[in-house]
Amino acid sequence: MKMRLSVLAALAGWLCAGASGAVAQEAPVKGGTLNMIAQPEPPVLMVGLNTQGPTLYVGGQIYQSLLTYGTDLKPLPSLAKSWVISDDGLTYTFTLQDNVKWHDGKPFSADDVVFTADKFLREAHPRWRLIATTYVDSITAPAPNQVVFKLKTPFSAFISAFELSSFPIIPKHLYEGTDYRTNPANQTPIGTGPFKLKEWKRGSYIHLVRNEDYWKPGKPYLDELYFRIIPDSASRAVAFEKGTVDVLRGGDVEGFEVRRLVKLPEVENTTSGWENYAPLVFMQMNQRTLPFSDKRVRQAIMHAIDREFIVKNVFFGLGKVATGPFASSTMYYTPDVPAYPFDLPKAKKLLADAGIKPGDYTIRLMPLPYGAAWDRMSEYIKQQIEQLGFKVVIQGVDAGGWSQKLADFDFDLTFNFTYQYGDPALGVARHYLSNNVVKGTPYGNNQNYLNPKVDELFATAAGAVSKDVATKAYTEAQKILVDDVALGWLYEMQNVTINRKKVKNLVRTGIGLNESMDEAWISK
C-alpha cells in the first residue's frame, strides 16, 4: 500500500490534471489543421465492428451515438436532443436532432437508429448484443425523429449504454441486407460526425476533413485532422517536441517521455476525459484446457507476478495496482476481496497441490501490440512464469492479428485492457457472463469463465431498483471472481493527454478524445 500511495503522490507532482479541459476564455476561430497520432494504426475505422482504441479515436470523428456523457457520467445530447424515461423504467423515448445528414448526403432518421439497434449491433457488437438479448423487448420509430426502446425488465444502466463505442449509429441505406463484416463501406466509412474521411495512406496518415453539412451550425471549427502513423515511440515523442503533431493521448509515448514532455513551454496536460472508461489492464488465461482450466494455476500465476513492479518500472507510475474486476474509481467497487501478493514459493505450492508439472506445458504468450511498454511487460511476465517451470513462447502479432486470434479463442495467455463505461452492467459483466462466450469479438468472455452464481449475481445487480441490492450483489460477485481469478487483473491505467496550449476545447466530456472534436479550435 505504501508503494501504491507513493506512486500516486509522484503522479500528482508532475501531472496538471484538468488543464486542457478548462473552458476557453478566447472566442473560437475557424480554420486550421490538428495533427494527432493513431497508435497503433487501426485495422479499420468502422466503429460498429471494431472498438479498439485507435479505431475509436479516429472513428469517433466520423460516427456518432444518441448520447455522450460528462465527466460526472451524466448523459448529454448528441444525435438525440432529448429523452424521456417512463416511471416504471421500461420505456425510453429519444427525440432526434433536426437536419442531420450522412456524409453521402442522405438524410438521417429514426429508421437508421432502429436498424442499428435491432439489426446491425445485435449481430455485430458484443456489448449491445448482450443488452438487446437480455433486456430489450422492442425498438420502434413512431415518427421520423423519434425512437422508442421498450425493455422486458428494468435495467438501471440502460441510459448509460449510448456512448459512441457502445452504440455507434450506422447508415441503414448502406448496410441493410449485406454481410456487415465484408461490406465495402467498411473501408470508406460514412457517418454523421463533424469530419469525413478524405484519405487513408496506409503506414503514413489518416486524413479527415470538415463536414460542411454538419448538423451543428458553424461547427466544426477545424478544417482538417491528420492522424499520423508513427510506429516508433521515441519518434512519436520527437514529432510532438518538434511540432509535427499537436496532441499526444495516453499510450502515444512512454511514461518517462510523458514526465519530460509535460514540462515543455506552451504545453498543457490533463488526465480528464477517461472518466467513462476507467481502463483496467488484465491477463486473459484460456480456461478451456489445462493448465489454466485449474483455478489454482491461475492463482499461482497471480502470486508469481509483482504488479507493483509493473506499474512502477514498466509503466513509470502511470497507474495503480488493480485488486479485482472493478476499477477503484467506479461504482460498487470493494477492496474486500482475496489478495495476491507477490509470493513465488506460494505460487509453486499451489501448482504442486494441483498436481501440475509445469515442464509438461508450453504457454503461448501473445503481447498486446500497443508499443514497447507492452512488449516489456510481456517479457517480464514470461520471465516470471518460467520461474514456475513453464515453457513460454512469445507470439507477436499486429493489432488486427491480436483482435482476430482473441476473437477466435486462439490463444493461451494474452493481455487486454477494456473500458468500464460508467456502470459494471455495461463494461464489466461482459467479461464473465456465461452467455457472452461468443466467437467474433475480443471484448467478451474470451477466456471461457463459467460460473452460474456469478451470472445470477450480475443479473440481480443489473435489474435492481435499490442501490443497496445492487451493491450487495456486486460485492459478492467481486469476491467470487477474484477467488476464481476469472481474469488476471494487473493495474488501473492512468492516461495523460498532452497538447499545445494553442489547441482549445480539446477535452470536454468523460469520453475525451474518443468523440466528436466539433468544439475544438486552434488559436492564431
**Over the stretch 283-327, which tens digit does the pLDDT of each residue have?**
999 999 999 999 999 999 999 999 999 999 999 999 999 999 999
Q: Check whether 225 has a pLDDT greater than 80.
A: yes
Express each pLDDT in 242-276 by its tens digit: 999 999 999 999 999 999 999 999 999 999 999 99
Confidence of residue 2 (pLDDT cuts 50, 70, 90): very low
- Identify the band that residue 10 occupies on the pLDDT scale cut at 50, 70 and 90: very low
Cβ-contact 92, 158 below 8 angstroms: yes
Write the pLDDT tens digit of every residue in 363-416: 999 999 988 899 999 999 999 999 999 999 999 999 999 999 999 999 999 999
- pLDDT for the residue 383: 98
What span, in angstroms and rounded, lies between the C-alpha atoms of 66 and 169?
8
What band does 51 get if pLDDT is binned at 50, 70 and 90?
Answer: confident
Give the list of residues 6+ apart from residue 272 with CB closer than 8 angstroms, or none: 17, 18, 20, 21, 71, 497, 507, 512
pLDDT at 42: 94
Q: What is the mean pLDDT of the chain?
A: 93
Helices (H), 73-203: 110-115, 121-124, 126-135, 172-175
Overall pTM surpassing 0.95 (yes/no): no
Percent of the chain with pLDDT over 90: 89
pLDDT at 12: 44
| pLDDT of 1 over the 80 cut | no
Q: Tell me which residue has cell 425493455.
A: 151
The pLDDT of residue 444 is 92
Q: Is the dihedral of CA 421, 63, 271, 216 positive or negative?
A: negative
Give the per-residue pLDDT at 15: 54
pLDDT at 95: 98
pLDDT of 127: 86
| Ranges assigned E (strand) in 144-188 | 146-151
pLDDT tens figures, 29-42: 999 999 999 999 99
Q: What is the mean pLDDT of residues 123-152?
A: 94
With CA atoms as reference, report the closest residue to 56 among 161, 167, 159, 132.
167
Q: Which residue has the higher pLDDT, 121 or 440?
A: 121
**249: helix, coil or strand?**
coil
Please determine, for residue 75, whether its predicted confidence score (pLDDT) is greater than 80.
Answer: yes
- E strand or H helix at 14, and its extent? helix 2-14
As separate numbers, helices (DSSP H) first and strands (DSSP E) second, the chain gives 16, 21
Contact 157/426 with Cβ under 8 angstroms?
yes
What does the DSSP 8-state code read for residue 107? Answer: B
**Does the pLDDT of residue 156 top 70, yes or no?**
yes
In whole angstroms, what is the distance from residue 136 CA to residue 151 CA?
4
